[in-house]
């Protein structure tokens, strides 16, 4: 709950910063009349709306599990990120439309030096805020914060490009540069929006997070115990910042209930120490079978039916399969 509250407070601060940056960019556009600066201002409006959505989604996702939501409310973060992605993509399309209109018709640009300074200041603030947001989001497994941070950083790079274009415009006085710069960086917004939508849809559809699964497999291999004959049918589902994990752990068949549960506790503690408090584990224990002897590394087993032949390294493929591990004949 402490991490969830921290995520919520940070998102509130980001939203407040977005409102301030929007005001600065609108002032810069009013002073200059530049469509490229208007592009940046429109993107900041999206930031503010997305920030408000993010605040609400983090508020909802921070609620504890209840009878209606036994896995918690973390999926709200995926919905928030999807909406933010759609808003970013829409802003990019609107910017292209406005820029093309200004290419066709002429428009006056004035006091460009003041506009460049104001917009450059917003880029620096955006980058610092976005970096902080992504770092905290990854640490706390919050897709909403990571999405907000990537959004702010994409805004930084687009703003930096716009500043470069405006400097060229200031030097050359070629007004078409203003619209061309706006069009080029609108494509960056559209691409960023697509990636955020893709990530959020993957979370809603419980798509396998291969990066997370690979890290977990490496961690389990490095800390494997001799009574863990094999581990299979591993599945990981993300609910915002919360992880749900279930798997089958094969242990020696002669362990009593208390001993088998001790192995499950060891696995649970290992995962929670690595991934923090927002992890829920369901582990089903299986007793080993005769064919397990050839891959079992346990020494001093008095009931071994076959000699040990080879240790099976756990991989993303065999650990996800719903079959006990065995050597292929």
**Residue 329 located in a structural domain:** no
Taking the chain, what is the end-to-end CA distance rounded to the nearest angstrom?
50
Q: Which domain holds residue 148?
A: 2-204
Shared domain for 126 and 151, answered yes or no, is yes
Shared domain for 97 and 242, answered yes or no, is no
Number of domains the chain contains: 2
Which single residue is written with the structure tokens 């973390």?
Answer: 74
**Residue 328 located in a structural domain:** no
Question: Which pLDDT does position 188 carry in this prediction?
Answer: 79
List the chain residues with pLDDT less than 50.
none
Shared domain for 216 and 264, answered yes or no, is yes
Q: Which pairs with CB-CB distance under 8 Å and at least 24 residues apart come from 268-274?
A: 270/219, 270/220, 270/223, 271/216, 271/219, 271/245, 274/216, 274/219
Question: Which pLDDT does position 2 carry in this prediction?
Answer: 64
**Residue 229 located in a structural domain:** yes
How far is 257 from 251, CA to CA, in rounded Å?
Answer: 11
Shared domain for 99 and 168, answered yes or no, is yes
Shared domain for 40 and 134, answered yes or no, is yes
**Residue 68 located in a structural domain:** yes
Shared domain for 109 and 253, answered yes or no, is no
**Residue 326 located in a structural domain:** no
Neighbour tally for 73: CB within 10 Å? 21
Instruction: State which of 157, 178, 204 marks the end of a domain.
Output: 204
How far is 83 from 201, CA to CA, in rounded Å?
Answer: 11
Question: Which pLDDT does position 146 carry in this prediction?
Answer: 80
pTM: 0.64
**Residue 235 located in a structural domain:** yes
Q: Dmax over Cα atoms in the chain, in whole Å?
A: 90
**Residue 122 located in a structural domain:** yes
Question: Which pLDDT does position 286 carry in this prediction?
Answer: 92
Shared domain for 197 and 289, answered yes or no, is no
CA nearest 138: which of 317, 10, 320, 270? 10
Shared domain for 97 and 13, answered yes or no, is yes
CATH code of residue 260: 3.30.70.1350
- Both tokens of 278, joined, read 């927002």
Instruction: State which of 176, 204, 232 marks the end of a domain.
Output: 204
Question: Which pLDDT does position 147 carry in this prediction?
Answer: 74
Shared domain for 22 and 94, answered yes or no, is yes
**Residue 327 located in a structural domain:** no
Instruction: State which of 204, 219, 240 marks the end of a domain.
Output: 204
Find the Cα–Cα–Cα–Cα dihedral 253, 255, 260, 262, rounded to 10°.
-150
3-state DSSP assignment of residue 234: strand
CATH code of residue 52: 1.20.1510.10
Shared domain for 98 and 113, answered yes or no, is yes
Shared domain for 196 and 48, answered yes or no, is yes
Backbone angles phi, psi at 5, to 5 degrees: -65, -40
Q: Which residues fall within 8 angstroms of residue 88, CB to CB, at 6 or more apart?
A: 43, 46, 50, 151, 154, 189, 190, 192, 193, 196
3-state DSSP assignment of residue 225: coil
Helix boundaries (H) for 105-244:
112-139, 143-172, 176-204, 210-222
Question: Which pLDDT does position 277 carry in this prediction?
Answer: 64
Question: Which pLDDT does position 61 carry in this prediction?
Answer: 67
How far is 86 from 143, CA to CA, in rounded Å?
Answer: 15
Question: Which pLDDT does position 265 carry in this prediction?
Answer: 93
Shared domain for 54 and 198, answered yes or no, is yes
């Amino acid at each position: 709950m402490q991490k969830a509250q921290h995520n919520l407070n940070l998102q509130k601060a980001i939203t407040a910063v977005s409102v301030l940056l929007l005001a600065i960019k609108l002032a810069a556009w009013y002073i200059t009349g530049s469509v490229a600066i208007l592009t940046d201002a429109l993107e900041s409006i999206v930031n503010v709306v997305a920030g408000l959505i993010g605040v609400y989604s983090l508020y909802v996702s921070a609620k504890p599990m209840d009878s209606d939501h036994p896995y918690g409310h973390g999926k709200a973060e995926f919905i928030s990120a999807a909406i933010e992605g759609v808003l970013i993509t829409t802003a990019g399309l609107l910017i292209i439309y406005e820029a093309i209109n200004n290419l066709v018709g002429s428009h006056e640009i004035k006091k460009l030096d003041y506009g460049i300074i104001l917009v450059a200041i917003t880029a620096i603030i955006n980058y610092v805020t976005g970096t902080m947001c992504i770092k905290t989001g990854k640490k706390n497994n919050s897709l909403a914060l990571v999405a907000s941070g990537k959004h702010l950083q994409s805004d930084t790079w687009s703003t930096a490009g716009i500043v470069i274009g405006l400097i060229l415009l200031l030097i050359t006085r070629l007004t078409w540069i203003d619209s061309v710069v706006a069009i080029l960086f609108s494509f960056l917004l559209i691409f960023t929006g697509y990636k955020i939508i893709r990530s959020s849809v993957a979370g809603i559809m419980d798509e396998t997070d291969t990066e997370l699964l690979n890290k977990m497999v490496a961690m389990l291999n490095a800390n494997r115990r001799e009574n863990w004959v094999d581990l299979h049918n591993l599945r990981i589902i993300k609910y915002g910042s919360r992880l749900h994990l279930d798997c089958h752990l094969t242990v020696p068949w002669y362990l009593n209930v208390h001993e088998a549960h001790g192995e499950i506790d060891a696995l649970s503690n290992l995962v929670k120490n690595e991934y923090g408090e927002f992890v829920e584990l369901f582990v089903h224990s299986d007793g080993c079978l005769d064919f397990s002897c050839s891959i079992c590394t346990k020494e001093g087993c008095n009931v071994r039916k076959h000699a040990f032949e080879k240790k099976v390294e756990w991989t993303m493929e065999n650990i996800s399969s719903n079959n006990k591990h065995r050597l292929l004949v």
